[in-house]
Amino acid sequence: DSGVTQTPKHLITATGQRVTLRCSPRSGDLSVYWYQQSLDQGLQFLIQYYNGEERAKGNILERFSAQQFPDLHSELNLSSLELGDSALYFCASSVSGEGSYEQYFGPGTRLTVT
């Protein structure tokens, strides 16, 4: 158990809908990262937040957004969902905002868009 929690574990929704994925980092970690894992694209970094502020952006679509709240939990919002958004979404946390620190991953949320 990494100490990172993600809810829900599974989500099934229809095209065009909007969903919110939630992540709580390990105790003491200030950075939260979001990743998408799909069969065709592999594991891709989406976005990083550090202590409430956006720190780095990867291959995140404009339809996707994230935020980190004062209690350090984070939410990833996915809107206007398409079939291709079906994937496993991971949240990870690390103690620092610097990339040199290891990231601990949550169990993931499996999103299925039908």
Using CB under 8 A, which of 20, 30, 67, 105 touches another protein?
105
Angle formed at CA 18 by CA 17 and CA 19, multiple of 5 degrees: 125
The reply to whether 43 sits near another protein by the rule CB under 8 A is: yes
CA–CA distance, 43 with 75 (Å, rounded to integer) = 19
Which amino acid appears at position 114 of this protein? T
The reply to whether 25 sits near another protein by the rule CB under 8 A is: no
Q: Least Å distance between CB 16 and another protein?
A: 27
Q: Least Å distance between CB 20 and another protein?
A: 20
Left if phi > 0, otherwise alpha if psi is -120 to 50, otherwise beta: which for 108?
left
The reply to whether 2 sits near another protein by the rule CB under 8 A is: yes
Cα 105 to chain center, whole Å? 10
Q: Which stretch, 16-24, 43-51, 61-69, 75-83, contacts another protein (CB under 8 A)?
A: 43-51
